[in-house]
Amino acid sequence: MNARTPSSMLLPVKTVKRKKETTPAAAPSIAAAVPAPVPALIQDEELSNYMLLAGMGKLRLDQLMYKCDALQAEKRAIESAHLYRQWIEHSDDPQKYLALFNYGSVLQTLGMADLAEEAYRLCVATEPKLAQAHINLGLVFERKGQNQQALDQWSNVVAQGVVNPTSDKLMEVTALNHIGRVYENLKQYEMAEQALRRSLQIDPKQSGVIQHWVHIRQKACMWPVYQSLPNVSANDMLMSTSPLAMLSLHDDPVIQLLSAHAFVGRTYGFKEEFLSKGREYRHDRLRIGYVSGDLKTHPVSLFLLPVLERTDRQRFEVTCYSSTVKPDRITHRLQVLAEHWTDVSALDDGGLFNRIRADGIDIAMFDVPDEVSEVWAPIAAERGAVAVDNSGAFRMDADVPLVVPEVNPEQAKNRPRGIISNPNCTTLTMMAALGALHRKWELKELVVSSYQAVSGAGAPGIDRLQAEIAAVATNPEAGLATDSVSKTLTAAGVSQADSPWAAPIALNVIPVAGSLKDGGHTSEELKVRNESRKILGIKDLKVAATCVRVPVQVSHSLAVHATFARPITVDEVRAELEAQPTVVVMDDPANGIYPTPAHVAGQDPTFVGRIRQAEDFPNTIDLFVVGDNLRKGAALNTYEIAELVAQELA
């Protein structure tokens, strides 16, 4: 983005082809207007012959390009410039504008800005749609300190349709990046940010531009710095941020390290050499490794405790790799249950994976942020383990299966990258039930409203709900008038600024779960749509989802409206679901029997109730599904995937 060199890289001399079909009108008096470089003594006989042919109008354009390219390669740019001018003065070729462009480029590399400007002006007068000429003319203006003229020139490329709308938009992106760079230099940060934003909307795969966009927003105090952009993920922004900028944007040392790794890779082409090409280990017992920084009082560990208690030690050998900085009583309980406990908090990344490899781990189970999994899960797979990942980093990767053992267990074997992904907890809550119904009646349309527990936002979500409940419990008037809950929280010293959400959660529901995306949808809603399609194998499944955060600690609830290809009855649905080993039917609402989060919390199965035929929609069933989001919605499914792999490797 910062390149100022106007060379013919935008339109390489050696790649210019004569297009006979193009016949633009010749500029008036072009020969007289062509600027001349300083005189040069032509001592090369071959070059003299080329000059003679050019003066007679008998040198073809392709021959000219070839010779001038060779002269520049020999560092004879001044002679190349003279040959170009000789040919331009005496040629009536309809593609003379190409020679004018390259002539301007040569003059520009020679530092002859005024002459280059005139050559580019003649070029665009002859062929106004040659975007490269407009861009290089702008660079000439910038070099001469005429910033506004440069900006105007590039703006014309974007605004006046100089770029062919059927092209790859490279020139438009180039113009916008130059605009952004100059505005940044002029400290007009808002204009710079807007230009780079437009550039990224056209081509989101520009790490350098993302880096500058983030840096500009940081300098201009545009908070939050990371703002949603189409097709630019949060991880793209994190990994494209410079290490220095990251120091003030993120206090997690892991994120800072990953940002530095990414920067070095982009800048210097650094690539880590793996210690091995990967292999499958064979042991008397399958070796499972848990890698986590949350082996303490945390939802992850509260699930892991009963898992370790019930692990068959005759079949499995368990190692925990803990980077927990502040161990507590839960840490000590886990240590007793784990066969091997390795404190890796003092190890660097290379040391950690050397240790995992030396331990001969068959299955590595990752419970870490997306950006960490994205880097290290492939490394674990490369070094011999099957990586089972609980983050969102790989869920929609075509080479990574998204597995729910009750629905698509066969996909666990189809892992080209050596990674298996665990679905989002909201999607998982309904999959065991929907998968069973889909197999028999063929799901066609799905409308879902989710009511998601605060633990979906991690430990901070639980802590926040408890703090708010404590605050409102002493005020019976809270919730009876506008903003009375907010006022109660403020009076109790519970600041909204410390909340994971934009509104109170106590005595309230929040109609936004996840981050906002294009079209007004949230990330959670898009996950329900995209992950349901992938798990069920229905590429064109019609899905509409609304995700709501509710004041419940554990267990997500979903109101499901499912339409099938074939006729279906309530009795058939109930019988099919009762036959599923991981589904519990609670469906007697007349006697107060239906699933609720309070009943389901701490249990493994999926609970289903309120099963009924939709009155106005044929082949459609409505039902209410509840599942513990920390168990089947997260860690339990990850463990069940590992069991599939264990059966395969045994």
- Look up residue 192 and give its amino acid: A
d(CA 408, CA 428): 12
- Residue 543: how many other CB atoms lie within 10 Å: 18
d(CA 528, CA 544): 9
Nearest CA-CA partner of 116 in 126, 127, 107, 129: 107
- Look up residue 505 and give its amino acid: I
- Residue 646: how many other CB atoms lie within 10 Å: 18
d(CA 219, CA 215): 6
- Residue 325: how many other CB atoms lie within 10 Å: 8
Place of tokens 């075509």: 398
Q: Give the three-state DSSP class for 542.
A: strand
Place of tokens 């690539």: 271
- Residue 425 is a catalytic residue: yes
Q: Which element (helix H / strand E) includes 88?
A: helix 77-90
Nearest CA-CA partner of 96 in 66, 127, 118, 117: 127
CA 375 vs. chain centroid, Å, equals: 13
Q: How many residues does the chain have?
A: 650
Nearest CA-CA partner of 286 in 178, 385, 362, 173: 362
- Residue 221 is a catalytic residue: no
Taking a C-beta distance cutoff of 8 angstroms, is the pair 202, 169 a contact?
yes
Beta strands, E only, 406-497: 419-421, 443-452
- Strand pairing class (556-564; 620-627): antiparallel
Taking a C-beta distance cutoff of 8 angstroms, is the pair 409, 403 a contact?
yes
Q: Which of 68, 320, 425, 547 is catalytic?
A: 425
Taking a C-beta distance cutoff of 8 angstroms, is the pair 322, 345 a contact?
yes
d(CA 596, CA 125): 74
C-alpha angle 357-363-369 in degrees, rounded to nearest 5: 90
- Look up residue 179 and give its amino acid: I
DSSP code for 602: T
d(CA 127, CA 27): 9
DSSP code for 516: B
Q: Give the three-state DSSP class for 449.
A: strand
DSSP code for 412: G
Cite the DSSP H helix spans in 476-537: 484-491, 523-536
Q: Give the three-state DSSP class for 4.
A: coil
- Strand pairing class (606-613; 620-627): antiparallel
Contacts of 117-120 with CB under 8 Å at 24 or more apart are 117/141, 117/144, 118/33, 118/34, 118/35, 119/34, 119/35
Taking a C-beta distance cutoff of 8 angstroms, is the pair 394, 421 a contact?
yes
**Helices first, then strands: H and E counts in the chain:** 25, 12
Taking a C-beta distance cutoff of 8 angstroms, is the pair 108, 25 a contact?
no
- Strand pairing class (419-421; 363-366): unpaired
Task: Give the active site residues.
Answer: 425, 556
